[in-house]
Structure 1
Amino acid sequence: MNNEIISPIFSEKNYQGKDIILEGVRIPLRGQYSLDLLDKFSNNSRRVIKLERPDLNIEYRELIKNDLDLLRNMWFDPNDETFPRDLSSHIGFVLLKDEKVVGGIILKPIGDVLFMHQLVAGEEGKKIKASTLLVWHAARMLTRKKWHSIDVGVSYNPARYNFFRHFAVEEYPIILKKPFYTPIIRFSPFKSFRDIEDSESKKPHKWLDPNTPYTFVPRGSYAISTLLKYLKIGKGDKVGVIKTFDTAFVSGCVAQAVENVGATCVVNQGESLPECKAVLLIHEFGIPISQDNELVMVARDLGLKIIEDCAWREDKVFHFSDYSIFSSQKIYDMNYGGLIIGASIPSEELWGYGAYDFVKAKRFKKDLQNQCVNVESRINNWTQFHDYVCAEGWTTYEGKDVEGFIKNKKWAPTVYMIDFGAGNFEDGDKIVDELIERLEQFGIQSGKYHPSAVLYVPIHDNMSSEDVRYMFAVIRGYFNSCNAYVSS
């Protein structure tokens, strides 16, 4: 996060606005609403549309390049740099009265959505409500074709906002500009320090079972390298890595922890498991590895030491694992702390590994005592964001059926993953890279799951429903062309 987020400096000469969430308008072209769109428009719009009489002598045709200069001269800002100069990436329709173009609608395809780039009406067009007629014509001509929806858009201009509302078959949250004071939404649920309750009578946290050996480390990222050193795994050794998703990607903190002891990762390679000293099972973002994963069974049959990386979870998945690793800062409202369960490593040895902090170790039990995941809240947040994504026609990452986990009401992942490499997006990698930059500007941590064009964003129980709405609104604002408009 940059310093402008923490301590912004007021510098604008004129009020800019557009920095608060507003509801955008969308016309679905698929599904149940697409069959009776006219009934979903406002009464005023329906009256205008039903006045389409033969004696008006109007007709429609598809937009051609020669129409663009005519429409530009009708546009409220003829110098608008976002107004297209050709039709290489736009489609549309024009309305003619007495064989003369009096208005037009220009649509820009992005993915499966048609964004209303410009809606133009000249003086003659305004007399017959050409703008309303053009929106209706585009909707009826394109419904139940290959497109998901027409994005009518959003406006912070009162007149245009009220006009757009006439077509509000569906709505979505959107924000265009960064607020002066931004929230901070991290992958970690940590937001602020809690008061410590000094009570020895309370039941200890479930991670701290007195009958099970465990070791505290200052941060979860130290747990892997510390445990590998404890197991005498070092230079030239191989560590098998089995992950939730069948990709070669390993997060930087895991790869670095293995490299720090001189070992190398062998990812999802069953033929190399006999050469490994141990196997690391990574439940990516808390999404569990399948119970019947063949590689896990092979590792177990080989008698390898099995280490579960549960950093994004509150519990382990496999009862037979030898060790499990947890990270309180990734799952609780804490800013430090990790645990190795299954080994009790002396403090002197931890000091030698560079992983001992007696101050944190002393207070960890008290900080951890009242911590637990509010599963219902996390599920509600995930479902809310999922509903926004599905309404857009976007694709959640297809590696796992996360919806199936959600339905049992017992568990939810710690992130939401959107696959911009799916659908009709031309450059998913570019979209994800630019979204990560935009989200950071708005105070939101995010990441890219390699090698796919997958964006992942935080979902945890310390987020409010409004946090979830804001996060989606920031993503949605990236796609609206008015985000790039600068008045001349």
Structure 2
Amino acid sequence: MPGKRDVFQKKYIGKDYVAYGSDLVLDKEKAWKQISRRARRSIEEAKNIPNLRIEKREGNEEDMKLFRSVWYDSEDKDLDMNNFGKNTHHTYFAYLDGRFVAGIIAAEVKHHLFLQFLGSNDEAKKLNIPSFLIWHIVHEFHGSKHKFLDIGCSFRSTLQEFFKNWATYEYPIIYHSPDLTPKIDATPFGSESMNVLPDDSVNVDVELEKKFGPREFTYFPRGKYAIYSILKHLDLKKDEEVFITTTTGSPYLSIGVSTTIEDVCLWSRKIGKKTKAIFLIHEFGFVHPKLKEMRELADRLKIPLIEDCAYAWQSGEAGKYGDFVIYSFPKFFPVQYGGLLVGKHFADRDIWDRFSCLDVGKTEVIKRQLSSYIKDIQDIVRKRRENYAYVEKLCRNEDFEPFFDIKDNETPGMFVLKVENHDKIIEICSRLKLFGIECGGYYHNDAVFLPIHQNLGKAHLDYIFGALRSRYRLENGIYPPEYFDKIYESKRDRNDRAEEGWGKQ
């Protein structure tokens, strides 16, 4: 099947690789120190031009008609008035001896300003007036809620060089999904993992005994079957309840957890007379802040505490207080299968007869896959924390806010990013999936979660952040995915005709 961008277009549209854009901090002192000498020289030269005046404009139809006279394409549809909002766009014109010679239009997105248009005639270019307009924006918005002027990224070498002169910070960005998209999963298993040979020198059972000491454990095909089996073992009745408590206490709950529990009994987000167990979830590897208190509560009520450490294989004190602990191997290791129940051992026959979740030989497959990675735990922890720190820095520089503040001894399972609202969750997740990035909505929390596992390097993380970052440029001259869909659908069947006329007598 042809790609949606295989249809030839006379106007080439690329922008489907990670490039680096330039942010200019809207702080006069900081910006002056960090911009290039060339940019500073241009500003100084333009500052001394006699009879040069900068004027704020409404950006109305008459203004846009005037701006078209200095724009490289006077018929550019991106300059149509319906693309502008009075309260979100800021327009400044430069006049030399009373004549209009250059203009700049900046658009608001969150706490950023985007340099949407910068146009000038030849005379203004020679006098460095476009540079002076950029610096005028810095002066106008110094001390405002806006932190950066996003100068942007150009795919024309001369313009990109001009942009880089203004960079007080560079960020990765990719505008359009490539035809050959990567597959960046939320968990570290990938097709290349299947080619990793088992390490016959490693006894996985022994390595797990080192971690869990004298506590018993049982392998399961997946973590959810470990949950199901321990609840069945506890003999919970259909009308009895499991109290579920999470790191944040928010309404968000994985459907894998809720549907598993519902097959055995009821669940609730509060303690009641029917509560027969506490199910504590360390969300995305971030340790529950009331772990010790939940242990004390369980002791007081004389009910078991079950810790869900699916994302928290090696994260602080997670897993040290539960009567039973649930782990999911694929969420931490690059393996295809496997859950673990700590605190109880079930024989294979028991698993088959009582819980009906046993594949002959799968436990050995799980152990063979784990043997290649079980001794790399500290390297995995280090890499995940490095990846988290890198993405966190990108986000904070760009005015995106992480949902969790990671603690020194925590190992993150995901990077959770705050967004504006529920609709933005849907919008961002849909966009990132077009780029081959697995992500999810942290519903009821206005956040999305993104991959940062140990098999991702800087190039992957730049790609993920670049796809996210470009979402906030979509209203600024970037083609949305639907643009390519329409072209493809209109021409997809045009070649479906067999050869005729030769080979037949």
Give the letter for the 2:383 counterpart. Answer: S
Once residues 49 and 452 of structure 1 are traced to their aligned partners in structure 2, the CA distance between those partners, rounded to angstroms, is 45
Q: Is contact 1:448–1:454 with CA below 8 Å preserved after alignment?
A: yes
Kindly indicate whether residue 6 of structure 2 is the aligned counterpart of residue 11 of structure 1: yes
Once residues 478 and 233 of structure 1 are traced to their aligned partners in structure 2, the CA distance between those partners, rounded to angstroms, is 47
Once residues 307 and 297 of structure 1 are traced to their aligned partners in structure 2, the CA distance between those partners, rounded to angstroms, is 13
Among 20, 24, 43, the residue aligned to 1:27: 24
Specify whether residues 138 and 189 from structure 1 end up closer, same or farther in structure 2 by C-alpha distance, changes over 3 A only. same
Q: Is contact 1:277–1:305 with CA below 8 Å preserved after alignment?
A: yes
Q: Which residue of 2 aligns with 1:310?
A: 309
Q: Which residue of 2 aligns with 1:68?
A: 64
Give the letter for the 1:68 counterpart. Answer: M
Deviation per CA, 1:225-265: give whole Å up to 9, x if none: 2221222224222110011012121111111111122x222
Once the two structures are TM-superposed, the CA of residue 345 in structure 1 deviates from its matched residue by 2.2
**Unaligned ranges ≥5, structure 2:** 485-505
Once the two structures are TM-superposed, the CA of residue 57 in structure 1 deviates from its matched residue by 0.8
Q: Which residue of 2 aligns with 1:388?
A: 394
Q: Which residue of 1 aligns with 2:371?
A: 369
Q: Which residue of 2 aligns with 1:424?
A: none
Kindly indicate whether residue 396 of structure 2 is the aligned counterpart of residue 401 of structure 1: no
Q: Is contact 1:385–1:472 with CA below 8 Å preserved after alignment?
A: yes
Kindly indicate whether residue 252 of structure 2 is the aligned counterpart of residue 249 of structure 1: yes
Once the two structures are TM-superposed, the CA of residue 443 in structure 1 deviates from its matched residue by 1.2
Kindly indicate whether residue 347 of structure 2 is the aligned counterpart of residue 346 of structure 1: yes
Kindly indicate whether residue 164 of structure 2 is the aligned counterpart of residue 165 of structure 1: yes
Q: Which residue of 2 aligns with 1:446?
A: 439
Q: Is contact 2:34–2:167 with CA below 8 Å preserved after alignment?
A: yes
Once residues 238 and 39 of structure 1 are traced to their aligned partners in structure 2, the CA distance between those partners, rounded to angstroms, is 62
Among 37, 40, 43, the residue aligned to 1:43: 37
Once the two structures are TM-superposed, the CA of residue 207 in structure 1 deviates from its matched residue by 5.7
Deviation per CA, 1:279-329: give whole Å up to 9, x if none: 111000011112566455323321111111000021462533110001001
Once the two structures are TM-superposed, the CA of residue 147 in structure 1 deviates from its matched residue by 0.8
Q: Which residue of 2 aligns with 1:478?
A: 471
Q: Which residue of 2 aligns with 1:179?
A: 178
Once residues 136 and 103 of structure 1 are traced to their aligned partners in structure 2, the CA distance between those partners, rounded to angstroms, is 14
Aligned counterparts, 1:278-297, within 5 A: 278-291=277-290, 294-297=293-296
Structure 2 residue matching 1:452: 3-state secondary structure: coil
Once residues 373 and 241 of structure 2 are traced to their aligned partners in structure 1, the CA distance between those partners, rounded to angstroms, is 36
Q: Which residue of 1 aligns with 2:424?
A: 431
Once residues 420 and 42 of structure 1 are traced to their aligned partners in structure 2, the CA distance between those partners, rounded to angstroms, is 33
Percent identical pairs in the alignment equals 26
Q: Is contact 1:220–1:311 with CA below 8 Å preserved after alignment?
A: yes
Once residues 357 and 54 of structure 1 are traced to their aligned partners in structure 2, the CA distance between those partners, rounded to angstroms, is 80
Deviates more, 1:51-60 or 1:111-120: 51-60
Give the letter for the 2:45 counterpart. Answer: L
Once residues 200 and 52 of structure 1 are traced to their aligned partners in structure 2, the CA distance between those partners, rounded to angstroms, is 70
Structure 2 residue matching 1:204: 3-state secondary structure: helix
Give the letter for the 2:248 counterpart. Answer: F
Specify whether residues 369 and 477 from structure 1 end up closer, same or farther in structure 2 by C-alpha distance, changes over 3 A only. same
Specify whether residues 235 and 8 from structure 1 end up closer, same or farther in structure 2 by C-alpha distance, changes over 3 A only. farther
Once residues 301 and 108 of structure 1 are traced to their aligned partners in structure 2, the CA distance between those partners, rounded to angstroms, is 58
Specify whether residues 306 and 69 from structure 1 end up closer, same or farther in structure 2 by C-alpha distance, changes over 3 A only. same
Q: State the superposition RMSD in angstroms.
A: 2.5
**Unaligned ranges ≥5, structure 1:** 422-427
Q: What is the TM-score of this pair, normalised by structure 2?
A: 0.85
Specify whether residues 38 and 340 from structure 1 end up closer, same or farther in structure 2 by C-alpha distance, changes over 3 A only. same
Specify whether residues 158 and 207 from structure 1 end up closer, same or farther in structure 2 by C-alpha distance, changes over 3 A only. farther
Kindly indicate whether residue 151 of structure 2 is the aligned counterpart of residue 152 of structure 1: yes
Specify whether residues 368 and 207 from structure 1 end up closer, same or farther in structure 2 by C-alpha distance, changes over 3 A only. farther
Specify whether residues 229 and 47 from structure 1 end up closer, same or farther in structure 2 by C-alpha distance, changes over 3 A only. same
Give the letter for the 2:437 counterpart. Answer: I
Stretches (4+) displaced over 6 A: 200-203
Specify whether residues 432 and 469 from structure 1 end up closer, same or farther in structure 2 by C-alpha distance, changes over 3 A only. same
Q: Which residue of 2 aligns with 1:425?
A: none
Q: Is contact 2:204–2:367 with CA below 8 Å preserved after alignment?
A: no
Q: Is contact 1:325–1:338 with CA below 8 Å preserved after alignment?
A: yes
Once the two structures are TM-superposed, the CA of residue 41 in structure 1 deviates from its matched residue by 2.5
Q: Which residue of 1 aligns with 2:220?
A: 217
Deviates more, 1:377-386 or 1:352-361: 352-361
Q: Is contact 1:217–1:357 with CA below 8 Å preserved after alignment?
A: no
Structure 1 residue matching 2:207: 3-state secondary structure: coil
Once the two structures are TM-superposed, the CA of residue 431 in structure 1 deviates from its matched residue by 2.6
Specify whether residues 116 and 217 from structure 1 end up closer, same or farther in structure 2 by C-alpha distance, changes over 3 A only. same
Structure 1 residue matching 2:171: 3-state secondary structure: strand
Specify whether residues 104 and 417 from structure 1 end up closer, same or farther in structure 2 by C-alpha distance, changes over 3 A only. same
Once residues 201 and 412 of structure 1 are traced to their aligned partners in structure 2, the CA distance between those partners, rounded to angstroms, is 24
